[in-house]
Homo-oligomer: A and B are copies of this chain.
């Protein structure tokens, strides 16, 4: 089976190289970034490419660029936003960062109950119908873990829509973008959570019945199953990663 070739533009290469050096601390926070022309020279690329990469770094709040002055490296832990998480989960070597996996699972656990609560408070019949449609497809795909995983994502997407809160929606998008990069790794681990349509159906029913507290409780119980499974899996993997150093 052939895989699509991975194309990378010069701009992408410059962006990733600088980003990795910033998050790894090689370019320490507060220090001055080399001048654009110096970077061009050192990287052997055009100034336009460097500028485009710097614009992206600026958009991610990893660097601060001032007209006339020297650019500064920012402390990403103080300034960068949730969007950065998707780029941090894959280390420069290509492996998945276990601490980031733990982080997104925990954040998911924090958000899920509240999403369900708001959805139950604000969702209408159409939202409940959409949720039921997803659970019906889940029931039809019992055992097919990759499909169930995809459907679980769709279920949460519908639930977030029902919650009618743009901040939840955008946070969910950032979280999903990160999750997508390690989805395959978690398919088996999350089997216990995703291969149980009844639990999703119960949440949908709570939304239809406008029972906010029940919806929140059920959602919490659901994602806590996954959280426990992931942490168990990480505990088995991390020691091996430790001794690899």
Contacts and interface: CB of A to CB of B under 8 A. Distances in A.
Contacts of A95: none
Nearest to A112: B110
Interface in A129-180: 165-171, 173-175, 177-178
Interface string A190-204: 000000000000000
- Within the oligomer, what is the number of copies of this chain? 2
B51 A85 contact: no
Contact of A173 (B80, B171, B175): B80
Interface string A23-67: 000000000000000000000000010011001101111000001
Given A77-B166, A81-B174, A81-B177, 17 more contacts: A56-B58, A56-B59, A60-B83, A61-B83, A61-B173, A81-B82, A81-B173, A82-B83, A82-B170, A83-B170, A84-B170, A85-B166, A100-B166, A106-B165, A107-B168, A110-B115, A167-B178
Contact of A103 (B67, B165, B177): B165
19 contacts: A9-B67, A48-B51, A51-B52, A52-B52, A52-B55, A55-B55, A56-B58, A59-B59, A81-B83, A81-B173, A81-B177, A82-B82, A82-B171, A85-B166, A103-B166, A103-B167, A110-B111, A110-B115, A167-B175
Interface string A65-85: 001000000000111111111
Interface of A: 7, 9, 11, 48, 51-52, 55-56, 58-61, 67, 77-86, 88, 99-100, 102-104, 106-107, 109-111, 114-115, 118, 165-171, 173-175, 177-178
Contacts of A61: 83, 173, 177
Contacts of A118: 106
